[in-house]
């Protein structure tokens, strides 16, 4: 029988665990945006070495499952003598993985800008710095917003994977809860509700931002 | 009256791989004169126009604005980006697709170059931009984003954006080709005003009426060659070259009813 009290009682500890889910995905996307911008710039630069590096970066990180990347980092770092807390390693790994997707999102948005946009700027004598910051990036950010929100939602769900390196986020906490209550269905249903709530909020935020930035 | 530039084009060639887009073009444009470039599509008109502000890099020959070579320091040696930008400041350009910046309002489109390129303070730039927008008849649309303007209005904002920079030469790349027929007139009217003020203008166009009534000289191009250049009447009404005759015949067939 489905135990409604167990289901409801699960929310407390799982909400508390959600702080790690939000921390890992929030810092992960922030790091991913910064590194993604750099990788995108490298990919579009005139320097062949940077372009190749960026292309390899993207294909490796997109081609290897995040779970495997997390395990690699978790077991590799101590071997090469780097001792960082599991949480830091998890955030960095998630951020780096996200950077591969985000750099491609931005490359796509920049590529979708009509050539006339930058030509009009160059024709009045605008320099490359102003062309990027005033003409290209504002439009690319607006255009890429739906894809970035999508990426953030994927990241919230992917953050469940950091449970394998011992972070007590929603998924790991629900496993523990299920083991102590012997009521896995109630607990995991509560976990599902929390993930859904978080992501519905993010989707709403995305719609709000899109609406505000629409011209 | 504006201070107007001259343009001298000598032996200009342009290749896209093995395809030669411009073949040894010579052309002289005196200060304050309006030159229309006509010809079939793919004839190199737009390419030539874009060589004048070096948006298109010509491979050999010379393009001189007021005697100064644009794009190169000397044959084969590229000009620095900074110097090229300085020359472009006094050359306005208007595009077929308007190319307004959609994330900015009409007046922001015009002030952008004044602030970023001319280094003006914002209030001063806004006053200048408002003046330019009034001149093209859009004083009441300054706060609109391009998406809230008709094609004709967008193109007039684009002209305001160019003239606010106080250019001495204006390049028009098929400025009315993307417009609905009923919106062509308002753009041509603004262009006529500019011509009357003594601006040097080079206009790639399919508007033969504009070429006939406003241009000082009309150049006909085909397959990358300058076939003929003369006063409008000689090109449009008594052409000797069979290529021009053929082009005009098909133009009249399409436009008569």
What residues of A are in contact with residue B113 (Cβ under 8 Å)?
A: 124-126
What is the model's pLDDT at position B32? 94
The answer to whether B101 and B112 are in contact (CB under 8 A) is yes
Cβ of B103 within 8 Å of Cβ of A116? The answer is: no
Q: Kindly give the parts of chain A with pLDDT less than 50.
A: none
Dump the DSSP string for A142-206.
Answer: HHHHHHHHHHHHHHHHHGGGGGGGT---HHHHHHHHHHHHS-HHHHHHHHHHHHHHHHHHHHHHH
Contacts of B158 in chain A (CB under 8 A): 120
* CATH superfamily of the domain spanning A15-169+200-213: MetI-like (1.10.3720.10)
Contact A123/B102, CB-based, under 8 Å? Answer: no
Model pTM?
Answer: 0.84
Q: Quick check: B95 and A139 CB within 8 A?
A: no
Report residue B6 CA to chain centroid gap: 14
What would the pLDDT profile of A12-56 be if each residue is shown by its tens digit?
889 999 999 999 999 999 999 999 999 998 998 888 999 999 999
Would you list the domain boundaries of chain A?
A: 15-169+200-213
Nearest CA in chain A to B104: A215
Residue A175 sits at the chain B interface (C-beta within 8 Å): no
Chain A: closest CA distance from residue B85 (Å): 4
Q: Report the alpha-carbon distance of residue A90 to residue B51 in Å, rounded.
A: 53
Residue segments in chain B with a per-residue pLDDT below the cut of 50: none
Q: Give pLDDT, residue A212.
A: 83
pLDDT (0 to 100) of residue B43: 94
Q: What is the ipTM of this complex?
A: 0.92
A3 interfacial to chain B (CB closer than 8 Å) = no
Residue of B nearest to A141 (CA): B103
Predicted pLDDT at B92 = 96
> Which percentage of chain B shows pLDDT scores above 70?
100
Do B180 and B151 touch, CB atoms closer than 8 A?
Answer: yes
**Domains of chain B in sequence order:** 7-90+169-255 (3.40.50.300), 100-166 (1.20.1580.10)
């Amino acid at each position: 029988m489905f135990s409604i009290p167990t289901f409801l009682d699960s929310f407390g500890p799982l909400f508390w665990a959600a702080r790690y889910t939000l921390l890992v995905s929030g810092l992960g996307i922030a790091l991913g945006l910064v590194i993604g911008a750099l990788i995108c710039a490298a990919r579009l630069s005139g320097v062949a070495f940077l372009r190749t590096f960026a292309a390899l970066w993207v294909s490796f990180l997109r081609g290897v499952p995040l779970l495997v990347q997390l395990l690699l980092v978790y077991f590799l770092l101590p071997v090469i003598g780097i001792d960082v807390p599991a949480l830091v390693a998890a955030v960095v790994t998630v951020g780096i993985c996200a950077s591969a997707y985000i750099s491609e999102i931005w490359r796509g948005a920049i590529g979708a800008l009509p050539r006339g946009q930058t030509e009009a700027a160059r024709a009045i004598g605008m320099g490359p710095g102003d062309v990027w910051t005033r003409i290209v990036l504002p439009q690319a950010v607006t255009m890429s917003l739906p894809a970035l929100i999508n990426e953030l939602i994927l990241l919230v769900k992917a953050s469940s994977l950091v449970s394998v390196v011992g972070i007590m986020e929603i998924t790991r906490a629900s496993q523990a809860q299920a083991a102590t209550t012997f009521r896995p269905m109630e607990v995991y249903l509560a976990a599902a509700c929390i993930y859904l709530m978080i992501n519905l909020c993010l989707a709403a935020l995305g719609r709000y931002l899109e609406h505000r930035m629409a011209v | 009256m504006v201070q107007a530039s001259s343009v001298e084009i000598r032996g200009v060639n342009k290749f896209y791989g093995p395809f030669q887009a411009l073949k040894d073009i010579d052309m002289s444009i005196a200060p304050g004169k309006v030159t229309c470039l006509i010809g079939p599509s793919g004839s190199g008109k737009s390419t030539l126009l874009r060589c004048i502000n070096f948006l298109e890099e010509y491979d050999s020959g010379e393009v001189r604005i007021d005697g100064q070579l644009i794009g190169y320091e000397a044959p084969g040696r590229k000009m620095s980006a900074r110097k090229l930008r300085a020359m472009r400041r006094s050359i306005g350009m208007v595009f077929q697709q308007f190319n307004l910046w959609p994330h900015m309002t009409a007046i922001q489109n015009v002030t952008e170059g004044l602030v970023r390129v001319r280094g003006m303070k914002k209030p001063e730039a806004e006053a200048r931009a408002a003046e330019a927008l009034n001149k093209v008849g859009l004083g009441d649309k300054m706060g609109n984003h391009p998406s809230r303007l008709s094609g004709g209005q967008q193109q007039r904002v684009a002209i305001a954006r160019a003239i606010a920079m106080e250019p001495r030469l204006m390049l028009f790349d098929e400025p009315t080709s993307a417009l609905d027929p009923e919106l062509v007139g308002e753009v041509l009217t603004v262009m006529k005003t500019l011509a009357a003020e003594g601006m040097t203008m080079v206009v790639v166009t399919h508007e033969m009426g504009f070429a006939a009534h406003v241009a000082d000289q009309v150049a006909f191009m085909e397959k990358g060659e300058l076939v003929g250049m003369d006063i409008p009447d000689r090109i449009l009404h008594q052409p000797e070259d069979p290529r021009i005759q053929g082009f005009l015949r098909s133009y009249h067939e399409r436009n008569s009813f």
